[in-house]
Structures are given as structure tokens and as C-alpha cells.
Amino acid sequence: MRMKTGVEQAVYAILLLNMLPDKAVLPGEAISQKLGTSPSYSQKLLRRLVSANLISSVPGVKGGFRLYKKPEDIRIYDIYLAIEGHQSLYSPSGILDDMLDLEEEDQCCLLTNLMDEAEVAWKTVLKRETIASLSDEIQADRFSEQVTALRELIQEKMVL
């Protein structure tokens, strides 16, 4: 399994929005610049996050984006679902059935239970972590200078 970079970019976009003061918004262009993505791709990701009620969009010249939920209520799994959807990570293709030349009533996949168990474990970890927990990590002492610079940039770009 390989997760698309959109999930990673969406997590970091929300972390940027988490640095805003109350009632402030950050324009989509500022988000795409900081993430190093094209404005059209960032808009696509941000629309998905808005549709999932994780962030909100404020229209207009002084518009932009801000958190809709509290950071402790935004699980990383919620962001994954907003970007990737609900599809299962594994879908058997019937190779074993063909190898063993099985009749339809005997068909099986040895990997299905294993992959289902792995997916449950993976989802459990993503559900445990939140934007608040990741925000705590990024604000650790070892990143203090970089976070200060990032906050200053956000202050310059935000709209009240």
C-alpha cells in the first residue's frame, strides 16, 4: 500500500490552520505556497477537507480557510478519509482461485483475513493521533525557531 501525498499535504495544511488565532483565516494561495503545491491542487484538497467538515471556507476578498473542528477532534484518520475515501486497502484478484482451478463455491483468498487485520491495526493508529497531538510534536523545543518563523509568516498572510 502506498498513501498518496495528498493526505500528507492535507495534514500539514490543517497544522498551518491550527496556528491561526481565533476568527482569522489563511488564504488558499498562502497554504499552497507553503506546502509547495499548485494552487489548483491545493484548492482540490481544501475543498475535500471542507466537505468533510474538518475546515471551513470563508468566501470573498478577505476569505480563506480556518479550522471547523477543534484540533483535538480532528483525527488523522478523518483526514485520510476526506482525501482517500472509504475504500478498502486490499481487494483480492482471484489469483489463488485461478492457480488451484477452484470452482466458484470453493473460491477463497488466503490473504483477505491477514490484510483485513492489518487494515484494522493501521486504522487504529490513525484514529489515535489528532491534529492536537501532532501540533504538540511540531512545537517541541527542537523546532522552536522554525515554528516561530512559520507563525510569523502566517501572521503576515492571514486575514482577520
Range of the domain at 147: 5-157
CATH number at residue 118: 1.10.10.10
Q: Is the pLDDT assigned to residue 94 strictly greater than 80?
A: no
Judged against a pLDDT cut of 60, whether residue 107 lies above it is answered with no
Q: What's phi and psi for 66, nearest 5 deg?
A: -150, 170
Q: Looking at the 3D structure of the chain, how many domains does it have?
A: 1
Side chain identity at 137, as an amino acid letter?
Answer: E
Strand 64-67, strand 55-58: pairing: antiparallel
pLDDT at residue 106, as a whole number = 60
Separation CA 100–CA 35 (nearest Å) = 49
C-alpha cell at 85: 475515501
> Model confidence at 108, in pLDDT bands (50, 70, 90)?
low
Query: What is the distance between the alpha carbons of residues 107 and 16, in angstroms, rounded to a whole number?
Result: 49
pLDDT band at 80 (very low <50, low <70, confident <90, very high): very high
Output the pTM of the full model: 0.85
pLDDT of 38 > 70? The answer is yes
Q: Which residues contact 150 (CB under 8 A, 6 or more apart)?
A: 16, 19, 34
